[in-house]
Amino acid sequence: QVQLVESGGGLVQPGGSLRLSCAASRSTGSIYAMAWYRQAPGQQRELVASISSISSGGRTNYADSVKGRFTISRDNAKNTVYLQMNSLKPEDTAVYYCNLGYYIGTYRPHDYWGQGTQVTVSS
């Protein structure tokens, strides 16, 4: 079992930045890919960004809506994955979730989720 704990959400003005963190309860970097999803009210959960395991080179992928604005990274010594979010827009408002998963062609989530952290972009 792996527990995931997100932090770093909050209220920010349009154009601002936030950095989300997701701490895993044990080492995951050598085997697992990780990802950030988000879910806005009344909408389905969507994949925002993912990063492959160390053994797969730590490759990153992004949803078109966040490319060039968001950056996913991982610190394997701290068992933590980050999501740096810049140039935030009101449509980025959502609950952001961390996930542990794997790649077969595309990112596939395991059933390991954090509790979520709220990001609100508003003036």
- 93-104: per-residue pLDDT in tens? 999 999 999 988
Name the residue with higher pLDDT: 60 or 29.
Answer: 60
State residue 119 phi and psi, 5-degree precision.
-120, 125
Bridge-based pairing state of the strands 70-75 and 80-85? antiparallel
* Residue 97, both tokens: 């979730």
Q: Is the pLDDT of residue 29 over 80?
A: no
CB 119 within 8 A of CB 36: no
- The pLDDT confidence band at residue 9, using thresholds 50, 70 and 90, is very high
Nearest to 35 by CA among 14, 66, 10, 11: 66
The structure tokens 């085997």 sit at 31
